[in-house]
Structure 1
Amino acid sequence: RKEDILQAEAAFKSAEKDYKRMKDLLTTQTVTQKQFDDAEARYISAQQTYDKLVTGLRKDEVTAIRARRDQAAAQADQLRKKVRDCYVLAPSVGTITLRAVEPGELVGLGTNLVRITYLDKVKLTIYVNEEQISKIHLGQKAAVAIDSGQKFEGKVIYKSPVAEFTPKNVQTKEERTKLVFGVKILIENPGGTLSPGIPADATVSLTDTATN
Structure 2
Amino acid sequence: MEKEIITIEKTKRTTEILIGLIVVALIAAGSLTFLSRGDTNDDFIVQGNVKMTDIDLNSKLAGNIGEILVKEGDEVKAGDVIIKISSEAVEAKLKQAEAAKAAAEAVAKKAENGARSQEVAQAKAAFDYAQKTYDRMKTLLEQEAISQASFDQVEAQYIAAKETYNMAVEGARSEDVAAADSQVAQADGAIAEVNSYLNDAQIKAPVDGTITSINVNQGELISTGMPLATLTTKEEAWIEVNVKETDLGKVQEGQEVQITFPAYPDKQYKGKVTVINKKPDFATKRATNENGDFDVLSYGVKIAISAIDKELYSGMTAMVDFGRNEGK
Tell me the TM-score normalised to structure 2 length: 0.38
How far apart are the structure 1 equivalents of 2:246 and 2:186? 72
> How far did 1:139 drift?
1.7
> How far did 1:186 drift?
2.7
> How far did 1:123 drift?
3.0
Q: Say if 2:221 is the partner of 1:112.
A: no
Higher strand share: 2
How far apart are the structure 2 equivalents of 1:59 and 1:163? 73
How far apart are the structure 1 equivalents of 2:229 and 2:175? 54
Question: Structure 2, unaligned stretches of length 5 or more?
Answer: 1-112, 126-163, 286-295
- Equivalent residue for 2:200? 85
> How far did 1:107 drift?
1.0
Q: Say if 2:281 is the partner of 1:164.
A: no
| Pair 1:89–1:208, CA change in 2 (3 A) | farther
- Equivalent residue for 1:31? none
Secondary structure (helix, strand or coil) at the match of 1:69 reads helix
Q: Which amino acid aligns with 1:205?
A: G
Q: Which amino acid aligns with 1:62?
A: V
| Pair 1:131–1:63, CA change in 2 (3 A) | closer
- Equivalent residue for 1:74? 189
How far apart are the structure 2 equivalents of 1:95 and 1:132? 37
How far apart are the structure 1 equivalents of 2:219 and 2:268? 42
How far apart are the structure 1 equivalents of 2:175 and 2:277? 72
Higher helix share: 2
Tell me the TM-score normalised to structure 1 length: 0.54
Asked if the contact 1:125–1:184 (Cα under 8 Å) also holds between the matched residues in 2, the reply is yes
How far apart are the structure 2 equivalents of 1:132 and 1:117? 32
| Pair 1:78–1:56, CA change in 2 (3 A) | same
| Pair 1:58–1:127, CA change in 2 (3 A) | closer
Q: Say if 2:304 is the partner of 1:186.
A: yes
Secondary structure (helix, strand or coil) at the match of 2:319 reads strand
Matching residue within 101, 104, 107 for 2:216: 101
Secondary structure (helix, strand or coil) at the match of 1:74 reads helix
> How far did 1:95 drift?
3.3
Q: Deviations over 1:131-188 (max 9, x none)?
A: 65422212212222322345443222226767515xxxxxxxxxxxxx7845432325
- Equivalent residue for 2:239? 124
- Equivalent residue for 1:197? 315
Across the aligned residues of Structure 1 and Structure 2, the Cα RMSD in angstroms comes to 4.4
Question: Structure 1, unaligned stretches of length 5 or more?
Answer: 17-47, 166-178
Q: Deviations over 1:18-64 (max 9, x none)?
A: xxxxxxxxxxxxxxxxxxxxxxxxxxxxxx89x74x53323453244
How far apart are the structure 2 equivalents of 1:190 and 1:104? 41
Larger-gyration structure (1/2) = 2
Larger relative contact order (CA 8 Å, sep ≥ 6): 2
Q: Which amino acid aligns with 2:192?
A: D
Q: Which amino acid aligns with 2:183?
A: R
